A and B are shown apart, each in its own frame.
Chain A
Amino acid sequence: MIQKKICLIGSFAVGKTSLVSRYVRSIFSEKYHTTIGVKVDKKELTVGGKDLMLMIWDLAGDDRFGSLKLSYLRGAAGYLLVADGTRRSTLATAVALRERIVEIVGGVPFLLLVNKADLQADWEIAESDLKPLVDTGWRVLRTSALSGDGVESAFQLLSAAMLAQQ
């Protein structure tokens, strides 16, 4: 079985841990659980007829309480940048993080997940904010860890992109 390491990165409270929890265990908790350091999970999946074991590293959010350990990205074959659709500042953080990440892992596949699609009415991130990123080749998905919308697709798409780059 092919094993691939992927990382989830973004501001605090954007829903990284909830996305992993939804994907790996099919559960969602309304309560926010902050991550300390890193949380490692694994999930088996089949992509294009190939069995794959994803080692999912959920990194603690970057904020005034702690800085992101980018060394954890070492060996990652891909990553998910996560922003919270209801907090515009988290998109800027994701964009800034991407620049730092490229220096470490180079051009490995990644997706931008704009999470909390179930709270669309409260969204501060507009289509026009995402269009410039899409125009430069970013792949953007709207996800909801609460409803599960887009979550499975996100991990599948990233896995397919990683296998294609192999």
Chain B
Amino acid sequence: MSDRIFELLLARDGVLVLERKGPKSFRPRGSSPEWLSRCFRPAQIEVLTREPGEVFHFVDHFLDDAEAWWARGESGDLRSEPWTESAVTGEEIAMEACACLVEGHCYLILRGLGAEFARTQRVLQTGRELALAHERLQGETSKKEILLHCIVHDLNGPLSGITSAFDLLEHEKLSKEGLRILGLGRHAALQQSNFISDLLDTFRAEVSTLETVSTNAAACPDIVSTAASVIEALAPVSDCHETPIHIVLGPGTGAPLRVIAERNRLERIFYNLLQNAHRHSPRRSEIIITITREGDEVFVSVDDSGGGISPRVAPHLFQKFIRGKGHSGKAGLGLYFCRITVEQWGGKIGFESRQEGGTRFWFRLKCA
């Protein structure tokens, strides 16, 4: 192929080839591409082909790197990113620059980008528009969640009235059966209250507005007495199911055993794990909480004798709105709340199947 044909092909592809004469100074080689005569007058083309940095500010910047690159005599090309600059006609030209060294000669190649650039821009534009739409959707969802949680919060008011009424009823002369039914009513109210707390706590944890957890040992809760108080509150349920809850302290573990946590939310974690255990345990079985100090951590396990976790649910157990077998749980927020709260305190949570049957839920927290 003759040099002339080769030059024409380059020009047809929008390529302007300039050979370096001196620092940031060039002479044109080959034919001029169409964009050059379309966007510039002859006098400007004269300047552009000899001192391209005078016309294109981007090229002036690129040539700082190119001069250093030519001086090093490296092989290969030094390529710029695409850039857009206005010609004197006002037309915007998308281009890319390339510096190369061929047989001891330094060349600057300026290439007008046409359809290829437009295609890349369309793809990028679509991607960014989708990202914007996603951001907007997240914002809308967040607003709706706030509204939902305001409603949930308002549900707490009437519930306090119901709980107070149960408290007053306790002072009446009720039969043994009446007291049993009262216990069930209080348990249902407690469940409802826990459900509302789960929703509100989860929401608060997600938006990170919960208070900072104190690492001051005196302000940190004793995990053993926290567990004991929850067991006491759940006594009517344990009696009803004939499934008692026992605490076992591991070797060398004594009370108080303070952990980096916040008492109310630690109680909620025990509530969630123990209520789950109750729901899935057969009648007349038992639930065992084991608390063991392991170095700087406290390991807590809750063992039940239930039917275990379904393999379908297991991978997603600690995610939001996941409910176990028979959907006998609540909104599917309990374990999600446990996970984000334990993780917020720097701990870990998990579960495993027990060899003797049933499930062990466990969590680790740092000692205060």
- Tell me the A residues contacting B by CB distance below 8 Å: 5, 12-13, 32-42, 55, 57, 61, 63-66, 69, 72, 74-75, 87, 89, 124
Of the residues B56, B61, B64, B129, contact of A32 by C-beta under 8 Å = B129
Given A32-B129, A63-B131, CB of A38 within 8 Å of CB of B117: no
Decide yes or no whether B57 CB sits under 8 A from chain A.
yes
- Beta-carbon contact of B124 and A38 below 8 Å: no
Which residue, of A33, A35, A40, A61, has the highest number of chain B Cβ atoms within 10 A?
A40
Cβ-defined contact, A34 with B57, below 8 A: no
Query: Which residues of chain B (257-311) have a CB below 8 Å from chain A?
Result: none
Chain A residues contacting B120 (CB-CB under 8 Å) are 36
Task: Say yes or no: is B214 at the interface (Cβ < 8 Å to chain A).
Answer: no
* A38 pairs with B81, CB closer than 8 A: yes
Give Cα distance in the complex from A16 to B61, angstroms.
21
Which 7 pairs between the two chains have the least Cβ-Cβ distance? Answer: A37-B81, A37-B82, A39-B84, A34-B125, A40-B85, A38-B83, A37-B83
Q: Is the interface of B mostly helix, strand, loop or mixed?
A: helix
Is the CB of B34 closer than 8 A to any CB of chain A?
Answer: no
Q: How long is the Cα–Cα vector from A5 to B83 in the complex, in angstroms?
A: 16
Pick 23 A–B contacts, CB within 8 A, sort by A.
A5-B57, A34-B121, A34-B124, A34-B128, A35-B84, A36-B82, A36-B120, A37-B80, A37-B83, A39-B84, A39-B92, A40-B56, A40-B58, A40-B83, A40-B85, A41-B86, A63-B128, A63-B131, A65-B127, A69-B81, A72-B61, A74-B61, A89-B135
Known: A36-B94, A38-B84, A40-B85. A55 touches B132 (CB 8 A): no
Kindly state the separation between the CA atoms of A32 and B121 in the bound complex, as whole angstroms: 12
Nearest CB of A to B111, in Å? 13
Q: How far is the CB of A96 from chain B (nearest CB, A)?
A: 17
In contact, B84 and A33 (Cβ under 8 angstroms): no
Shortest CB–CB separation between residue A163 and chain B, in angstroms?
19
* Chain A residue at minimal CB-CB distance from B121: A36
Q: Within the complex, what minimum Cβ distance (angstroms) separates B325 from chain A?
A: 39
Task: Please tell me if the beta carbons of A13 and B128 are within 8 angstroms of each other in the complex.
Answer: yes
* Binary A-proximity of B203-225 (CB < 8 A = 1, otherwise 0): 00000000000000000000000
Q: Are A12 and B85 in contact (CB under 8 A)?
A: no
Q: Which residues of A contact B56 (CB under 8 A)?
A: 40
In B339-358, which residues have CB < 8 Å from any A CB? Answer: none
Q: Which of B64, B81, B131 counts the most chain A CB atoms within 10 A?
A: B81
In the bound complex, do residue B57 and residue A36 qualify as a contact, i.e. CB atoms below 8 Å apart? no
- Would you call A13 and B132 a contact (CB within 8 A)? yes
Contact with A along B53-90 (1 / 0, CB 8 A): 00011100100100000000000000011111110000
* Beta-carbon nearest neighbor of B139 in chain A: A124
How far, in Å, is A32 (CB) from chain B's closest CB?
7
| CB nearest to B64 among chain A residues | A74
Cα(A64)–Cα(B128), bound, Å: 9
Contacts of A57 in B (CB 8 A): 57
Q: Please measure, in the bound complex, the distance between the C-alpha atom of A35 and the C-alpha atom of B82, giving whole angstroms.
A: 10
Chain B residues whose CB sits within 8 angstroms of the CB of A55 once the complex forms: 57
Distance, CA A34 to CA B128, complexed state (A): 8
| A36 and B117 contact, CB distance less than 8 A | yes
Contact call B61/A87, Cβ cutoff below 8 A: no
Other than the known A36-B84, A36-B120, what 9 A-B pairs have Cβ atoms closer than 8 Å? Answer: A13-B132, A32-B128, A37-B84, A40-B83, A63-B131, A64-B131, A65-B127, A65-B128, A66-B124
What residues of B have a CB within 8 angstroms of the CB of A124 in the complex? Answer: 139
Q: Contacts of B124 on A, CB cut-off 8 Å? A: 34, 36, 65-66
B206 to chain A, nearest CB (A): 16
Pick the contact of A42 from B57, B83, B129 — CB < 8 Å? B57
